[in-house]
Structure 1
Amino acid sequence: MLHKISLLLFIGISFQNSWSQDSLAQLLSTYNKQNIPYWTVQELAQAEKKTFHLLDAREPEEFSVSHIKNALYVGYTDFNSNRILKTIPRKTDTLVVYCSLGVRSEKIAQKLKKAGYTTVYNLYGGIFEWKNNNNPVYNLHNKQTDSVHAFSKSWSTWLKNGIKVYN
């Protein structure tokens, strides 16, 4: 009997995990044009910082609550590619852009490509997927935190780990 319960539990968890992944893929394919290649959170976690620039394409209040370590705030509403050109003048440098899930970051990545950057990626699942995979996030004082700005009540359903913060 215990074996059957364990098997059913395993099947249920496997189904839930595959459904979640398919749903995130479906969400991103619904909102994104898919013309910017993705970097996975696993690729980001394994990459050496010196090989790329990590750009946060969210709003200032989101960045101050939580961001990925060493991320450069570039914003979304107030994004300005000329500011980026001053900070990252080599257009051949690798750029990885993220937001909450990967929708706004694709739009910013497209603007970066239009500005002449040649190697631009969108972080698949954004900071939510990063935190869901138990990776650390940091607040404005660069202190590790469990708080994650959840963007909105409806989008926050995609954040499974951490403390959801709204403002």
Structure 2
Amino acid sequence: MTNEIDSKMILGAALLLGIVGLFSWRSLAFRILKHLIRRKFPTVQWLTTQELAQWQNSQKPQPVLLDARDAAEYQLSHLQQAQRIDPQQPDLSDLTQSQDTPIVVYCSVGYRSAKIATKLAEAGYKHVYNLEGSIFQWINEGRPVFQDSNQTTQVHPYDRRWGQLLKSKYRAKLETEE
């Protein structure tokens, strides 16, 4: 049943992205996609990109940032100070922080990170947030991303279809597009 729901949700989102490509309704597609992800993961706490940016500029203790994307996506760019966690086989034993430490998880659009956020909460972490819109929304708003310690403007598009949610100036070319 869960795989059927996942498949239907992904198919629906893919069809929606096809429509977005035709009409360039990126913000509408993003709103619908975020709504679908919230429905799929109702127990996950969410943090907006604006809230994270404000948090990073405050004197409050900073959250641990976990990037739940594949290695190639992370290597191209990530949020500053983010640690990568494997979205397919997350090893929570690598986390050495207290379960009271705030953690913000992100991926490309929020689906993979919502899965990781759920696992972290189930493991007893008390302050886990999924970054709404994830790195795609973050960069589309002109916020900084980094490759190692150097700021960059390119984000891995995951694939051609999902990459339509990135503004073209931020969308890295896939090897198959070169």
Please give the root-mean-square deviation of Cα atoms over the aligned residues, in Å. Answer: 2.0
Structure 1 residue runs of 5 or longer lacking an equivalent are 1-15
Q: Which residue of 1 aligns with 2:121?
A: 113
Distance in 2, matches of 1:94 and 1:66, equals 22
What corresponds to 2:143 in structure 1?
A: 135
Q: In structure 1, the residue corresponding to 2:61 is in which secondary structure?
A: helix
Q: CA deviation at 1:24?
A: 1.6
Question: Which ranges of 4 or more aligned residues in structure 1 deviate by more than 4 Å?
Answer: none
Identity among equivalent positions (%) equals 36
Please state if 1:25 is matched with 2:36.
no
Match of 1:70 among 59, 81, 104: 81
For residue 162 of structure 1, report the CA deviation from its aligned partner: 1.0
- Distance in 2, Cα, partners of 1:63 & 1:111: 20
Deviation at 1:78, TM superposition (A): 3.0
Name the CA distance, whole Å, in 2 between partners of 1:111 and 1:91: 13
Residues 150 and 164 of structure 1 are in contact (CA less than 8 Å); yes or no, is this contact kept in structure 2? yes
Q: What is the CA–CA distance in structure 1 between the aligned matches of 2:173 and 2:151, rounded to whole Å?
A: 15
> Is residue 64–residue 101 contact of structure 2 (8 Å, CA) maintained in 1?
yes
Q: What residue is the counterpart of 1:151 in the other structure?
A: 158
Normalised TM-score (structure 2): 0.75
Deviation at 1:111, TM superposition (A): 0.5
Alpha-carbon distance, 1:20 to partner: 4.1
> What SS does the aligned partner of 1:121 have?
strand
Deviations 1:111-146 (A, max 9, x none): 00111101111000010000000011111x321111
